[in-house]
């Protein structure tokens, strides 16, 4: 029997998104789907990542940002050091810069400074007025 999961959410601009997966649904696939939805929706919730999302370098990088660098600006060298302390993995400075650039493009991070020295910070979560 095929399993089907459908996820609907609104992005920060009010646009509704619907995503469905069907077939062999695993926890890892659901976690990737939720991570994608969070990035597209522009959510910066400070909740810890779901089990299994730390299986990718992007998931681990987001975990380090959300747990160690949540309230302040940082540069790529600082996040590289924090990543190595947290995970013990080898990660090059160039790869970290690429991942940070992708997070800026996805709307998760803000970037200031210049091409010679970028600083990053989590975008503030949008607040809804009552």
For 12-56, what is each residue's pLDDT tens digit? Answer: 666 788 888 888 888 888 878 888 777 777 654 434 444 445 568
Residue 61 has pLDDT above 80, yes or no: yes
pLDDT at residue 42, rounded to an integer: 63
Q: What is the mean pLDDT of residues 82-105?
A: 89
Asked if 35 and 64 sit in the same domain, the reply is no
Let me know whether 68 and 116 are in one domain. Answer: yes
Q: Residue 113 — very low, low, confident or very high, per pLDDT cuts 50/70/90?
A: very high
CATH code: domain of residue 104:
1.10.10.10
Range of the domain at 1: 1-43
Q: Pairing state of beta strands 16-23 and 117-122?
A: unpaired
| Full-model pTM | 0.57
Number of H helices, E strands in the chain: 4, 4
57 CB burial (10 A radius; 0-12, 13-18, 19+): middle
């Amino acid at each position: 029997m095929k399993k089907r999961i459908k996820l609907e959410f609104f992005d920060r601009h009010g646009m509704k998104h619907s995503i469905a997966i069907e077939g062999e649904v695993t926890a890892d696939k659901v976690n990737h789907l939720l991570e994608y939805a969070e990035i597209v929706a522009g959510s910066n919730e400070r909740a810890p990542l779901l089990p299994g999302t730390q299986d990718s370098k992007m998931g681990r990088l987001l975990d380090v940002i959300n747990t160690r660098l949540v309230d302040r600006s940082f540069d790529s060298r600082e996040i590289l050091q924090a990543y190595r302390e947290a995970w013990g993995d080898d990660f090059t400075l160039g790869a970290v810069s690429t991942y940070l650039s992708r997070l800026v493009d996805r709307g998760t991070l803000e970037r200031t400074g210049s091409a010679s020295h970028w600083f990053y910070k989590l975008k503030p979560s949008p607040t809804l007025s009552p």
